Structure 1
């Protein structure tokens, strides 16, 4: 192993040595504590320290890093105190995630480290968003995302690289190629000659380096960082290395040939660098022993602090409170004070988005074809001319990467709106939405200031993949908010409220209502509070609790059947729900029909019915009934689709309930 100092001072070389040694000694201690049962799990980076330490030391301290399981050197090189890291690993309430996360699944805004999720690949797209923020701010910064050789097979890897290349983002993608994805060797993971070759397909430069040589890693990252900033382009680095322990300690290493361990033992990153420093007379054997002894002593002192955590106090109220970042303030609905005009639902959405762009210079819009083309439904038509291409961004067909980029923008204080061209396509960004956006605030206090617009619903003959009502997927996920307006006034006010909310909001907009529904909408910038239902009309005979197109189906039935006194409640927000309004409606009539366009099984009608039965039973005069669409995919033929939709069964459902 050849070391080249390349202008580094003696002090810098020694500082790198101490930074390199520190995570190794910590890990050796952690492995002892693991055997003693004092920590529960450990992902070892022994043998790979030069990559994490060298890369981190080569960046500025305010440049974001997205590390993975075995990158302890990232955390220590950012000077995170060991006693607090130890509290984190123990699951203590005074760790970085209040006991809610394990090992390295946490982040710290103070240290510009973004916590990983177990799915690995989503980290890469977050780096895209952070780099986009730097580009928009005209700051000379990069972001750096780690992945392993196994992770390069994930779709998120390819989406993130493609997006970074298309948008010319200053991102460093760093592959730690240690030869194994858990137990699967690289020859069963990919067929390209090297992982660095994958960069060529994205028009990106790449390099393969010795990941066990800390000076090579440090110098390469320094140079690549300058390249990315100067050229405003991404770069891929493949670091060849080897892990000397199992994927995690429980998995062992029996699947690894003995000769591989022997070969890589000779390439130990710490031992080799240490020997070189001694050979260059920058260190003596006595000084090596002294440094090691000092660090071991510090480890013991830090662990004593770490063991002093108070017992965790379980508070359900705090747990529920920490699911969402708090709203600072809200804007009242000024409908009675303002001029209104009749506009269509689609125009109300456009106006709410346009006024939000004017209100928030840090709001970025992203989506397929939303720039010059104006989006599939023309909602953003003209926005490029008004706000520019930096803020109104066409995206590649990379739903997962764009959701991840939206989260990355949040790390740097931006707001973002992503348009799913159709709500159906959220399926390919599902992991980022439900595991990254939704959980990040609860996990380590970082909010995701993201709105995802979801053109949804049937009735237009669009078939199985452009007509689904998939709101129930997201209502099930704590940390998301889900809104679904049915009127132009609510569409504008709820969209503005969603953009002002610091939490991730899934904003459903029914395609069939875009141009078929008009109503009075205030001209000014206003909000409709998320979590508050709208009483459409009051009645005595039965309650219809609904949302979206179901509101109009219920209103149409009520107008045609004036002999029935119907109480209609428009939920507007599906997460959180307005339970007070639901209970009030049940109390007024004693008979409840829950109406939604989604299919019956697993639709939110089941959840609502269960809640009403549990909390409003004494007011019920009949079982809670549901009217929903058929449990099939959405058919293309219009006659088949009419039969599919819940509206086809609404009259029978009402009669059944009235006759109970």
Structure 2
């Protein structure tokens, strides 16, 4: 019946919804509410550490989840318990997750709803909120490329719409016609900040206009409206892939989290929304329609309570996690045994840039599920022309020009990995990676450790100085990432290594930061194997053997060292090219230093906080008794990189290398 005048806060239209679905909507909301009420008790008892309440917002989580198919991904927030329970995740696992126990989803490594599960097609949030919107883009892109009629739903709050990631994700989805439902729960406050201090438009849905995107406003406390409208929209999106912005008007009846309280909310506003409670209004409607009887409601409450009690006992009975350092360290990376592909004897003398291009091209031929994304990489071929001609061979579905939005594209790459694909992202210059820093260090790097979801993503980073490009196109910023557990960092110096290591990076299921020095692109030639081959990550290379001093370096530093050694052929230097900075080949470093007794570590990066500092500390801690002199670090000046040639020459570590080497030898 469609009620135009009702005793409820909303109009409930059940004409096209069967009674079993009507009852299931109620039961799922009730289950979420009863679990929440129990969790608030446990919070006060100190049995869980934190709780973000979704009381009063259950209709959105339940309605959206029931409108989607079970194998369609949902990316919820911390107030969307109803997503997890409607997908029928065993309660004992949820309870163990919130208590930090092993049968939860993160082995005690994260709390609350910061987890995902492929089994239930749920991808949880991170505290930075925004990146999950781009992740939804990547999941949806994978479905679209495989021509699967699937939608992806992603949640955020009205506060999250202020983040740049929101705008980047919506823009990407719109430009690429991705089947994403962007579900914004407008509950009035971002923690204590009211919506009039968050945005200056009447409705969040109005923002859809700026992206050429269909948008709808839905009464978020009316579960029937949520379910029927989202169901209708989802069916349409499956047939005609496109993004849709959904604004759910609702209210947060408790604090941002329980410790926050609600003192900043006017009492009259709380009282007004209390009358719009989604469960009490809907249960009254179902009772009046004769669909929900007292006996059925009692049965639901009793069975849910029994389920809660039983699963709490299972969770309580589980022992606390036993700390195991080996387990912790082993779970930073997704460990797998990759098949090594040997290099052929057949070789061509090519440039560094050609080797990178060849490795990328042969990887695209090898992996049908590999997508390459970046600014201007399609018809234009990228600013360095590495992907020139790729569109003609692989098509624009796989060689994708992106909008200028590094954060959104990195998150999209993560979504592709979640949905069984591989991604290579080209940063136009390594300097620009700062705009995508958050999803790299907080999403890609930590996902496997948190919930065993690997990030099969390579970020290519043209880097380095010596080309007069100034402060914003010349950094060699590898130290930003060697600090982050979960990332692998590769920095080849020669064409053969560049090709083999790039192929290995793409084959590696972990996130890899792949640095390519721009000044080497067209200036360094080498005979490079023409077949598809890889070089194991984490293994350094001895370029020259010697006995007087070890020079430990990588990238352009290798070529600087070779130039100095050419002028000092009487010096017996062991030159080590690290090639991979994380994981670091400490075994080779220690072996060389123990043999020579002296160590010089050379990097193009500025001195303080660079990787040379850590290598120096490692040598001091592990080889001290073998040293005949202090470890010497040689690096660039502690300034941004200047443009003028004479200033840049002075800046670069190359200008100090020869002097410091001779001083170390004479120590």
Q: How does the TM-score come out when normalised to structure 2?
A: 0.98
Q: Which residue of 2 aligns with 1:22?
A: 31
1:311: how far off? 2.6
Q: Which residue of 1 aligns with 2:82?
A: 73
1:498: how far off? 0.2
CA RMSD of aligned residues (A): 0.8
Alignment partner of 1:627 out of 624, 634, 637:
634
1:327: how far off? 2.2
Q: Which residue of 1 aligns with 2:428?
A: 421
Alignment partner of 1:400 out of 375, 398, 407:
407
Q: Deviations over 1:290-334 (max 9, x none)?
A: 321221122111111111212311111110100111123231433
Query: Mapping of 1:575-594 within 5 angstroms?
Result: 575-594=582-601
1:227: how far off? 2.5
Q: Deviations over 1:56-102 (max 9, x none)?
A: 11001111111111000010011001111000000001211111110
Query: Mapping of 1:128-139 within 5 angstroms?
Result: 128-139=137-148
Q: How many Å separate the matches in 2 of 1:8 and 1:483?
A: 56
Give the length in aligned residue pairs: 658
1:216: how far off? 0.6
Q: How many Å separate the matches in 1 of 2:540 and 2:124?
A: 36
Q: How many Å separate the matches in 1 of 2:107 and 2:522?
A: 48
Q: How many Å separate the matches in 1 of 2:15 and 2:467?
A: 66
1:643: how far off? 0.5
Alignment partner of 2:156 out of 124, 136, 147:
147
Q: Secondary structure at the match of 2:117?
A: coil
Q: Is 1:270 the equivalent of 2:279?
A: yes
Q: Secondary structure at the match of 1:325?
A: coil
User: Which runs of structure 1 show a deviation greater than 3 angstroms over 4 or more consecutive aligned residues?
Assistant: none
Q: How many Å separate the matches in 2 of 1:329 and 1:640?
A: 45
Alignment partner of 1:507 out of 504, 511, 514:
514
Q: Deviations over 1:90-117 (max 9, x none)?
A: 0001211111110100110111111211
Q: Secondary structure at the match of 1:256?
A: coil
Q: Which residue of 2 aligns with 1:229?
A: 238
Alignment partner of 2:260 out of 251, 255, 259:
251
Q: Which residue of 2 aligns with 1:171?
A: 180
Q: Secondary structure at the match of 1:249?
A: coil
Q: Is 1:518 the equivalent of 2:525?
A: yes
Contact 1:149 1:180 in 2 (8 A): yes
1:507: how far off? 0.3
Q: Which residue of 2 aligns with 1:470?
A: 477
Q: Deviations over 1:315-371 (max 9, x none)?
A: 11110100111123231433xx52112110000000000000000000000000000
Contact 2:338 2:508 in 1 (8 A): no
Q: How many Å separate the matches in 2 of 1:652 and 1:11?
A: 82
Query: Mapping of 1:315-464 within 5 angstroms?
Result: 315-334=324-343, 337-464=344-471
Alignment partner of 2:205 out of 156, 172, 196:
196
Q: Is 1:121 the equivalent of 2:130?
A: yes
Q: Which residue of 2 aligns with 1:107?
A: 116
Q: How many Å separate the matches in 2 of 1:604 and 1:6?
A: 66
Contact 2:332 2:486 in 1 (8 A): yes
Alignment partner of 1:490 out of 485, 493, 497:
497
Q: Is 1:611 the equivalent of 2:641?
A: no
Q: Secondary structure at the match of 1:263?
A: helix
Q: Which residue of 2 aligns with 1:529?
A: 536
1:11: how far off? 1.1
1:651: how far off? 1.1
Q: Deviations over 1:426-459 (max 9, x none)?
A: 0010000000000000000001000000000000
Contact 2:539 2:580 in 1 (8 A): yes
Q: How does the TM-score come out when normalised to structure 1?
A: 0.99
Q: How many Å separate the matches in 2 of 1:78 and 1:398?
A: 33
Runs of 5+ in structure 2 lacking a partner?
Answer: 1-9
Q: Which residue of 1 aligns with 2:553?
A: 546
Q: Which residue of 2 aligns with 1:4?
A: 13
Contact 1:593 1:624 in 2 (8 A): yes
Q: Secondary structure at the match of 1:433?
A: helix
Q: Which residue of 2 aligns with 1:240?
A: 249
Query: Mapping of 1:28-39 within 5 angstroms?
Result: 28-39=37-48
Q: How many Å separate the matches in 1 of 2:30 and 2:106?
A: 26
1:659: how far off? 1.7
Alignment partner of 1:208 out of 214, 217, 228:
217
Contact 2:186 2:251 in 1 (8 A): yes
Q: How many Å separate the matches in 2 of 1:427 and 1:327?
A: 30
Deviates more, 1:500-509 or 1:302-311: 302-311
Contact 1:475 1:574 in 2 (8 A): yes
Q: How many Å separate the matches in 1 of 2:100 and 2:661?
A: 52
Q: Deviations over 1:537-577 (max 9, x none)?
A: 01111111000000000011111101111110000000000
Contact 1:330 1:527 in 2 (8 A): no
